[in-house]
Chain A
Amino acid sequence: MNASPAAGLLPATRNALALLLLAMADDEFVIGFSDSEWTGIAPILEEDVAMSSLAQDEIGHARALYELLAEVVADGRDADAIAYDRPPTGYYHARLLDHPRGDWAQTIARRYLYDTADAVRLEALAGSSFAPLAALVGKIRREERYHLMHVSTWLDRLALAGGESRRRLLDALERLGPDASTVLAPLPSETALLMAGIVAASAAEQEAGWRAAIGPTFERLGLPMPPPVSAPETARSSHSSAFERLHDEFTSVRRIDPAATW
């Protein structure tokens, strides 16, 4: 087996990198699984295929990030073991993704908030000093471009349709808004990441960039901007009972026979 691509990093930098990869991978994994619950019941057949395809893309991104994480930590666990063999409390996704998929408006609102925040996070990693991550981010961004196009066109439709569509969207934004920027809340290891040039912008800078990016859309559609995050220190811990149910579901096959080969 090849040496870890992170072999040349200082231990503190390596740990910081591992935490960043875990946060990103868990985010993609959880939203991918959550949105895949629409398969078979989305509003129309074409959208069913589209949402399922987006969800599969996110699982694909999660897999690539878990694989990279497995190489960085090099503790013998593979991507599947990291993805599936943790208790719910061991996951490190943002609180925004603790919400259930809810109705269609909540799914669209969450995807919009998440995808726009993720785009800013990915931009800050595009020139990462950790070359394997920069290369992976380059590929992920090419797929996320379409995700943003698709969810933006849905946000417009729900916001501009008026009536029940708009009311449900506003309800969803009220529920999700306070947790929206948990995706960009600072990691405890942020300083090490910035010093090593792994990330180009601090969490605060990323959040400002995200607000500047979505501001014109929210203003055009007359939607309330997400408030500042509450309790940023627990942005990625103390998960909801909705997540515990999702975890129970997505680990159910793995638990039957963790050593099964596919």
Chain B
Amino acid sequence: MTEPVAPDRLAAATEAPAAAKAVGSPGVLEPWEVFRQEKEGDPMRHGGSVMAPDAVLAVHYARELYGRRDESIRLWVVRRADVHQLEDPDLLQPPLDRSYRKPGGYVMRDKLGAAREQAGTTKPKANRG
């Protein structure tokens, strides 16, 4: 259900009978993305997607597929068409070396030591929690 569905396949699977079409409300299925929270304080994480004709059934189906076994305390359902996507490699994976932007080259230990000495404090003990 997480794979994008080709529009023609989708249309074939949801073709309403001619008579129903005539009055004009055959529920056409479309994908909805489902986010779920496992416990209070956790981030909402993408769980997967469902096919549904509208938000009401999308919420019901999200409940059945991502929440019926007590695995979620909150669900968000978003129409996939409402998600704005960026996957342009020129913007996300530029070709030139950008390592100089990363902080990995700095050694902070000496600077922190000097700052502590100046402030008269000591290094905090490691958290053994």
Contacts and interface: CB of A to CB of B under 8 A. Distances in A.
Contact of B50 (A46, A160, A161, A162): A46
Contacts of A162: 19-20, 22-25
A157 interface: yes
A49 B20 contact: no
Interface stretch (A11-19, A122-130, A146-154): A146-154
A164 B65 contact: no
B20 A153 contact: no
B22 to A, nearest CB: 6
Nearest to B20: A163
B17 interface: yes
B61 A160 contact: no
Contacts of A160: 25
Interface in B1-33: 1, 13, 16-27, 29
Given A157-B27, A161-B25, A162-B25, A46 B64 contact: yes
A237 interface: no
Contacts, number: 58
A49 B48 CA distance: 15
B53 to A, nearest CB: 8
B112 interface: no
A150 B64 CA distance: 11
Given A153-B57, A162-B20, A164-B19, A46 B52 contact: yes
A137 B18 CA distance: 44
Nearest to B29: A44
Nearest to A146: B63
Interface residues of A, number: 19
Interface string A47-64: 101100100000000000
A164 B20 contact: yes
Contacts of A164: 17, 19-20
Of A53, A149, A162, A164, most buried by chain B (CB within 10 Å of CB) is A162
Interface string B67-94: 0100000000000000000000000000
Interface of A: 44-47, 49-50, 53, 146, 149-150, 153, 157, 160-165, 167
Given A45-B1, A161-B16, A162-B24, 12 more contacts: A44-B29, A45-B51, A46-B64, A53-B68, A146-B60, A146-B63, A149-B60, A157-B53, A162-B20, A163-B17, A163-B23, A164-B17
Interface of B: 1, 13, 16-27, 29, 50-53, 56-57, 60-61, 63-65, 68
27 contacts: A44-B13, A45-B1, A46-B1, A46-B50, A46-B61, A47-B61, A49-B61, A49-B64, A49-B65, A50-B60, A53-B68, A146-B60, A146-B63, A153-B56, A153-B57, A160-B25, A161-B25, A161-B26, A162-B22, A163-B16, A163-B21, A163-B22, A163-B23, A164-B17, A164-B19, A165-B17, A165-B20
